Amino acid sequence: MGKAQTYYAVARGIRPGIYTAWFGTEGAEAQVRGFTGALYKKFATLSEAERWLVHPLSAAAASAKGAAPHEGGSSKPHFSGRDQRCDERETSFLPGSAALRGGTLAVPASEPLSGTIVVYTDGGCRGNPGPGGYGVIVIAGDTRIELAEGFRLTTNNRMEMMACIAALKALKPPADVILRSDSRYVINGINKGWARRWRANNWMRTRNEAAENSDLWAQLLDLCDSHRVRFDWVHGHAGQAENERCDALAGAAALGPDLKEDLAYLQGRTRMPQ
């Protein structure tokens, strides 16, 4: 009995489309290897692959099924009569949330999610303050996206917060999200209710002291109100794969060319009542 045909849908990669082979120069693997932020998935039927290409991330979040691609077959790509590149207006990612390209193979996630999107974040800077960056990994089923951005002058805590903000901004609300960060500052600020208390007090930490980074806390709380988010602390630099990857993304972003400006920090607008 012959092996059943397998289809590999590539929503975001070098050449998006549907492929009947994983290996080979014209297979699906060649379209996603080295393309950070690649979106792809394996299917048993062509119709399933075509349906998934319309809503790649939301479909993955709704059903965390699917095996890692590894089978051979004909390498001819299949297209269904239109450009199969990912239409970000139709996915769970909002326009403008394009992932950082370069240097990694997006691989199927190992943990079942059953509809929940898992986010890993990290941020930091060289010098504190100094050049900084953040890294984000968003996982929904076997779909994975990486985001990163660098800034010319900022702080560690601001990069940790911007990572969370970037991740949640990239998702269509409302989404069920588990956000995992190694920042006690972020985790305690949310889970212990500090940030909401500061907001209720017009961003005053005490009677005489304004809360630090109120510009970012305001954004983060608004996003938390738009989604259903659980914040979990993870131990940094302890060998957790996604945390280590986020750290690497953040470090690379901080060293990149054309760093952005953290305008609120530069203009001294981080401790002002909103």
- Active-site entry in 122, 142, 146, 242: 122
- Active-site entry in 13, 66, 123, 135: 123
Read off the tokens for 203. 């961003």
- Active-site entry in 72, 127, 222, 237: 237
Read off the tokens for 157. 């805590």
- Active-site entry in 160, 215, 242, 262: 160
Nearest to 6, CA basis, from 81, 87, 89, 68: 68
- Active-site entry in 149, 215, 247, 262: 247
SS3 138: strand
Residue 70 designated active-site: no
Length of the chain: 274
Residue 242 designated active-site: no
Nearest to 180, CA basis, from 220, 235, 250: 235
User: Measured between alpha carbons, how far is residue 145 from residues 29, 125, 199, 210 in Å?
Assistant: 16, 22, 31, 36
Residue 176 designated active-site: no
SS (H, E, C) 54-67: HCHHHHHHHCCCCC
Residue 160 designated active-site: yes
Nearest to 175, CA basis, from 62, 41, 56: 62
Residue 251 designated active-site: no
- Active-site entry in 88, 182, 215, 262: 182
Query: Residue 5 contacts by C-beta under 8 Å, 6 or more apart in sequence?
Result: 20, 73
Q: Which residues are known catalytic residues?
A: 122-123, 160, 182, 237, 247
